[in-house]
Amino acid sequence: MAGSANKMKPKPWTEVATHLVDVAMGRKQADLVIRNGRWVNVHSGEIIPGTDIAITAGRFAYCGPNAGHAIGQGTKVVDAGGRYLVPGLCDAHMHVESGMVTVTEFCRAVIPHGTTSMFIDPHEIANVLGLPGVRLMHDEAVAMPINVHVQMPSCVPSAPGLEHAGAELTVADVAEAMTWENIIGLGEVMNFPGVAANDPVMSGEIAETVKAGKTVGGHYASRDLGLPFHGYVAGGAEDDHEGTRAEDAIARVRQGMKAMLRLGSAWYDVAAQIKAVTEGGIDPRNFILCTDDSHSGTLVHEGHMDRVVRHAISQGLKPVTAIQMATLNTAQHFGLEREIGSIAPGRLADLLIVSDLAQMTIDEVYGRGARLAKAGKLEIDIPAYDYPPTAKNTVKLGKKLKAADFDIAAPQGANEVRARVIGVIENQAPTRALEADLAVEDGLVAMDRRNDICQIALVERHRGTGGVTNAFVSGFGYMEDCAMASSVAHDAHHIIVVGTNKEDMALAVNRLGEVGGGVVLYSRGKELALVEMPIAGLMSDERAEIVAAKAEQLTEAMRKVGCSLNNAYMQHSLLALVVIPELRISDVGLVDVTTFQKVELFV
């Protein structure tokens, strides 16, 4: 049943409603009937055995005990054999760029895992290419055989005054984007202090979104649930995925927000927060599951939203409730309940045939009434999307880096310094603000590999200034002479390099300049792994499985030099994210994200 993706664009319900009625009444035949399934009804919370589903024009026409009246000579009939019929899964908040691949390749990777709807926020490419970059991903999303809705990025740069991105988005840009066909709302509003302070850019962007009747995405990355939180909610944010505790989820739901619980490659925030439902008895209708950031290795080897649902079930949720949080709840939040999120008449015919509900064992995936995947294998062709030359060659270093660029001079006459250190927290986005006493050798501050303190540097890459910000980081566990550099450095996406050896640090950064971006690991002058990402320095133009293999080689190389962190690359890429506490690095310097102020390296 292989086909071409571009033939699957469904007609609006208004154009096919009378045909759906005719099929439901038996006056016309269905295109496809799936018989003898157990209908996972997310509206009623039931599992209904002995159900038939009739599909026509890419939409459900009949869901009931016997669709024999809709079967004609041209109807394809599939026997579900008592297996579960589950709505196609929705990812409510995610960044395609974190997968290291294009929208097309991301879809190829996740469709066999049952994802048929995604709500993507392309603020990574926006930080490099601005509004034209958003438009590129928007247009690619429209061409997909599944539903890929785009949120207009809200914070570029994410923290004005604390970093300089490659572009800047304005209220006028947001207003323009709200007129595009596939923009579903405003992406996560990360500048939460700005919202609480009535910053005119933030309030203006939110107002334009609300005027357009679209959803305002939230991002409140603080544990303070006092007045700043209340001010943020009053400013218009409708959801939030930055909670890490049960009380975070409860606070958001009580204020009328949707609590988005994420399980990404490195963010494990479902288990703690789901206790608000399983132990606290909070109404699950306002809880939504998402991934936020998943790299290609996770997608290819572990899954996507099926992985999240499976995990939520393992934490004590009833399977139907977990599925609701990944389907209907998401659709309702974005005002798309009549289009996606359930198996019900009129909706797009996105469904999964599942043999084991608790394990989310997906046998077949249907999107818009066509079979897209079977037994974990994609059955359709999705043509590659061509990115123009303007989206490439974006790594501009301005000079060839040398080891001396990473020297950190000590205060005059000091034999020892007390330095601020960024502390990585495994499986979480926040960092710790640590301090350490470091030795001084020949006037330069030394790393302390024995105590897991190595060097981090941010290299400006948008304007070719040659600027380097040096600091220290702890948590990677590197034991050998090595350095890893990445042009993926949320959110401004300069180059971050972490290493124990300055010569390797220089080699790694220069290599990314040669290949146009990506992530690379050097040890003792030798390149151990490289994932090229020439599109904006953020995405590969290769197949997802090829990128996953290169990413696995990178992970294995990191292990060999002493790093045992889960998904350490993802942790690495967030070290410049100056909107999540506590301590980050930017092209401006070290930033205390609890006070949103630049701080000195030495205490």
pLDDT 10s digits, 286-324: 999 999 989 888 998 899 999 999 999 999 999 999 999
Q: Which residues pair with 518 in a beta bridge?
A: 532
- State residue 1's pLDDT score: 34
For residues 222 and 238, what is the distance between their CA atoms, to the nearest angstrom?
Answer: 16
- pLDDT of 7 above 60: no
- pLDDT of 216 above 90: yes
Closest CA to 466 of 397, 396, 419: 397
- pLDDT of 5 above 60: no
Task: Sort 259 into a burial class: Cβ within 10 Å, 0-12 / 13-18 / 19+.
Answer: buried
| Kind of pairing between the strands at 597-599 and 590-592 | antiparallel
Give Cα separations from 526 to 88, 190, 484 (angstroms): 45, 39, 12
- State residue 412's pLDDT score: 94
For the chain, the helix, strand and coil percentages under 3-state DSSP, each to the nearest 5: 30, 30, 40
Q: What angle do CA 411, 412, 416 make, to 5 degrees?
A: 55
pTM comes to 0.93
- State residue 99's pLDDT score: 92
Q: Which residue has the tokens 């995925």?
A: 241
Please provide residue 378's backbone torsions phi and psi, each rounded to the nearest 5 degrees. Answer: -70, 135
Residues 6+ apart with CB under 8 A from 515: 530, 532, 534
- State residue 447's pLDDT score: 97
For residues 62 and 34, what is the distance between their CA atoms, to the nearest angstrom?
Answer: 11
pLDDT tens sequence across 105-154? 999 999 999 999 999 999 999 999 999 999 999 999 999 999 999 999 99
- Per mean pLDDT, which range of 263-272, 332-341, 525-534 is the poorest? 263-272
Instruction: Summarize the confidence of residues 23-47 as an average pLDDT.
Output: 98
Residues 6+ apart with CB under 8 A from 160: 191, 194, 201
- State residue 406's pLDDT score: 98
Closest CA to 594 of 53, 131, 321, 223: 223
| Kind of pairing between the strands at 370-374 and 377-378 | antiparallel
What phi-psi label fits residue 486: left (phi over 0), alpha (psi between -120 and 50 degrees) or beta? beta
pLDDT tens sequence across 463-512? 999 999 999 999 999 999 999 999 999 999 999 999 999 999 999 999 99
- State residue 4's pLDDT score: 42
Give the tokens for residue 27. 């006056």
Q: Within the chain, how many helices (H) and strands (E) appear?
A: 17, 29
- State residue 300's pLDDT score: 87
For residues 575 and 493, what is the distance between their CA atoms, to the nearest angstrom?
Answer: 11
Please provide residue 126's backbone torsions phi and psi, each rounded to the nearest 5 degrees. Answer: -65, -35
| Kind of pairing between the strands at 32-41 and 351-356 | unpaired
- State residue 8's pLDDT score: 62
Instruction: Summarize the confidence of residues 13-30 as an average pLDDT.
Output: 98
For residues 357 and 355, what is the distance between their CA atoms, to the nearest angstrom?
Answer: 6
For residues 391 and 203, what is the distance between their CA atoms, to the nearest angstrom?
Answer: 30
DSSP state of 286: G
Give the tokens for residue 187. 């992406």
- pLDDT of 427 above 90: no
Give the tokens for residue 235. 């400013």
Give the tokens for residue 83. 């297996």
DSSP state of 68: G
Which comes out higher in pLDDT, residue 111 or 579? Answer: 111
For residues 34 and 51, what is the distance between their CA atoms, to the nearest angstrom?
Answer: 8
Give the tokens for residue 376. 């974990």
For residues 45 and 323, what is the distance between their CA atoms, to the nearest angstrom?
Answer: 10
Which comes out higher in pLDDT, residue 587 or 570? Answer: 587
pLDDT tier at 56, thresholds 50, 70, 90: very high
H-state helical runs in 383-536: 502-515
For residues 533 and 57, what is the distance between their CA atoms, to the nearest angstrom?
Answer: 39
Residue pair 265/429 in contact (Cβ under 8 Å)? The answer is no
Q: Which residue has the tokens 């640590």?
A: 434
For residues 137 and 103, what is the distance between their CA atoms, to the nearest angstrom?
Answer: 7
CA count, 13 A, side-chain hemisphere, 396: 10
pLDDT tier at 274, thresholds 50, 70, 90: very high
Instruction: Summarize the confidence of residues 39-58 as an average pLDDT.
Output: 98
pLDDT tier at 418, thresholds 50, 70, 90: very high
Look up residue 359 and give its amino acid. Q
For residues 479 and 558, what is the distance between their CA atoms, to the nearest angstrom?
Answer: 10
| Kind of pairing between the strands at 258-262 and 32-41 | unpaired
pLDDT tier at 3, thresholds 50, 70, 90: very low
How far the first Cα of the chain sits from its last, in Å, is: 65
Look up residue 186 and give its amino acid. L
Residue pair 157/491 in contact (Cβ under 8 Å)? The answer is yes
- pLDDT of 78 above 70: yes
- State residue 428's pLDDT score: 84
Q: What percent of the chain is predicted at pLDDT more than 90? A: 94
> H or E element: which one contains 324?
helix 319-325
- pLDDT of 6 above 50: no
